[in-house]
């Protein structure tokens, strides 16, 4: 059995050191910018370093964006294979992030960083091939932060984790991110949280001084989990709001004719409530209504037409 207790201590030491001093070095500083706090990236660099020299284990992340976390880890751990999954579906209005990642990888001369340009669920379904049989020692979840994406990432990575492994869940400030981590921990007691850190708001809503402080730290919050099959660590769960109303509302949104336009509809409702000009938002909403939506019922759309009325397993 792996030296589990020693590994836990090393993980906690990495987190303490990153919390105090941030990045391991300023290597790559002129090339690398992105959306993760310096302590978060520093922690990833150090924890990946716990697997240095192992060619059966790798670093893996979901959410590469312009490469800050992936390339920073690869830079400090040149003998560790590092993989990043991104389909560039978010935060890329000009479609330039793939090129930026490739350019930065070349400028830094990194031979150990591999981009998997794919939806994360497809990539995780074919992970042994993508990772050439390696197991995952450090796993960063930093893709879409909806509840389902977060939970699926945690569930789908389980069979691919190394015997000792650490999972970093970024953007834990979001309550649905904490809820999925909490639900995973409650249903998987063989995992334990060892660290959590939050900031008082989203980086977009912080004043300059507070933002600077948390850019040095864990920016938009993190949860760190380890595999603990012997159950030797105390239970520690991320806090969540008492009400689960928003999750119930998801069901009501999903069945509505204009479901996919819920963000635009809310922006319009807000403008009307606040007395600002709703016309541009109404126009945006109208433009978003597709023929498929128009053909739906106003509510209780189930997408069940055409499904079987009864089907058994092929077992006989
Ligand atoms: C917050 S950014 C990642 C930041 C990055 N870790 C850094 O250090 O700057 C989130 C990324 O997740 C990616 N993403 C969102 N949904 C995805 C999906 N279904 N599959 C793969 N990547 C996805 C987005 O394209 C985006 O680049």
315 in a structural domain: no
186 lines ligand 1 (CB under 6 A): no
Which CATH number do you get for residue 124? 3.40.50.150
134 in a structural domain: yes
233 in a structural domain: no
Residues 200 and 124 placed together within one structural domain of the fold: yes
Residues 261 and 135 placed together within one structural domain of the fold: no
Burial class (CB in 10 A: 0-12, 13-18, 19+), 40: buried
Residues 131 and 56 placed together within one structural domain of the fold: yes
> For residues 119 and 86, is the Cβ–Cβ distance under 8 A?
no
Residues 218 and 253 placed together within one structural domain of the fold: no
235 in a structural domain: no
Beta bridge partners of 223: 169, 196
- Which whole number is the average pLDDT over 197-220? 96
94 in a structural domain: yes
Q: What is the pLDDT of residue 36?
A: 79
Q: What is the pLDDT of residue 131?
A: 97
Nearest CA to ligand 1 atom 27: 65
Q: Would you say residue 2 has pLDDT above 70?
A: no
Work out the pLDDT band at 35, boundaries 50, 70, 90: confident
CA of 21 relative to ligand 1 center, distance in Å: 26
Q: Which domain holds residue 160?
A: 2-227
CA of 143 relative to ligand 1 center, distance in Å: 4
Residues 49 and 149 placed together within one structural domain of the fold: yes
119 lines ligand 1 (CB under 6 A): yes
The per-residue DSSP string of 25-60 comes to --TTTTT---SS-HHHHHHHHHHHHTTTT-SSEEEE
Residues 13 and 73 placed together within one structural domain of the fold: yes
Burial class (CB in 10 A: 0-12, 13-18, 19+), 216: middle
The greatest distance separating any two alpha carbons of the chain, rounded to the nearest whole angstrom, comes to 67
CA of 125 relative to ligand 1 center, distance in Å: 18
Q: In the structure encoding, which two tokens stand for residue 176, read together?
A: 């649905």
312 in a structural domain: no
Among candidate residues 196, 227, 258, the one where a domain is terminated: 227
198 lines ligand 1 (CB under 6 A): no
pLDDT in tens, 120-165: 999 999 999 999 999 999 999 999 999 999 999 999 999 999 999 9
Q: Is the pTM of this model over 0.85?
A: yes
Residues 160 and 273 placed together within one structural domain of the fold: no
- Which whole number is the average pLDDT over 303-315? 96
72 in a structural domain: yes
Residues 156 and 205 placed together within one structural domain of the fold: yes
Residues 110 and 215 placed together within one structural domain of the fold: yes
pLDDT in tens, 210-246: 999 999 999 999 999 999 999 999 999 999 999 999 9
Residues 222 and 255 placed together within one structural domain of the fold: no
What total number of domains does the chain contain? Answer: 2
Residues 92 and 155 placed together within one structural domain of the fold: yes
Nearest CA to ligand 1 atom 24: 90
175 in a structural domain: yes
87 lines ligand 1 (CB under 6 A): yes
237-243 contacts: CB < 8 A, separation 24 or more? 237/182, 237/185, 237/186, 237/193, 238/172, 238/178, 238/181, 238/182, 238/193, 238/196, 239/178, 240/175, 240/178, 240/179, 240/182, 241/175
């Amino acid at each position: 059995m792996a030296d589990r207790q020693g590994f836990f201590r090393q993980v906690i030491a990495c987190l303490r050191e990153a919390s105090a001093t941030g990045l391991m070095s300023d290597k790559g500083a002129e090339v690398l910018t992105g959306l993760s706090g310096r302590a978060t990236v520093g922690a990833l660099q150090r924890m990946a370093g716990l697997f240095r020299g192992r060619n059966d284990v790798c670093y893996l992340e979901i959410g590469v964006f312009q490469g800050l976390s992936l390339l920073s880890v690869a830079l400090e751990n040149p003998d560790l294979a590092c993989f990043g999954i991104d389909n560039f579906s978010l935060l890329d209005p000009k479609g330039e992030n793939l090129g930026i990642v490739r350019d930065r990888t070349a400028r830094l001369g990194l031979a150990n960083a591999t981009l998997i340009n794919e939806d994360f669920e497809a990539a995780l379904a074919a992970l042994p091939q993508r990772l050439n049989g390696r197991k995952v020692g450090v796993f960063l979840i930093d893709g879409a932060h909806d509840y389902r994406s977060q939970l699926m990432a945690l569930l789908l990575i389980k069979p691919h984790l190394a015997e000792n492994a650490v999972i970093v869940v970024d953007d834990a400030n979001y309550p649905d991110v904490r809820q999925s981590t909490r639900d995973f921990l409650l249903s998987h007691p063989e995992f334990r949280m060892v660290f959590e850190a939050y900031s008082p708001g989203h980086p977009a809503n912080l004043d300059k001084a507070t933002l600077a402080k948390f850019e040095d730290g864990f920016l938009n919050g993190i949860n760190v989990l380890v595999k603990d099959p012997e159950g030797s660590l105390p239970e520690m769960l991320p806090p969540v709001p008492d009400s689960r109303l928003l999750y119930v509302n998801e069901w009501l949104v999903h069945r509505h004719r204009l479901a996919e336009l819920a963000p635009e509809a809310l922006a319009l409702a807000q403008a009307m409530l606040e007395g600002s000009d709703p016309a541009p938002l109404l126009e945006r909403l109208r433009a978003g209504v597709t023929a498929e939506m128009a053909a739906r019922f106003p509510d209780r759309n189930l997408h069940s037409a055409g499904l079987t009325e009864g089907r058994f397993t092929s077992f006989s």
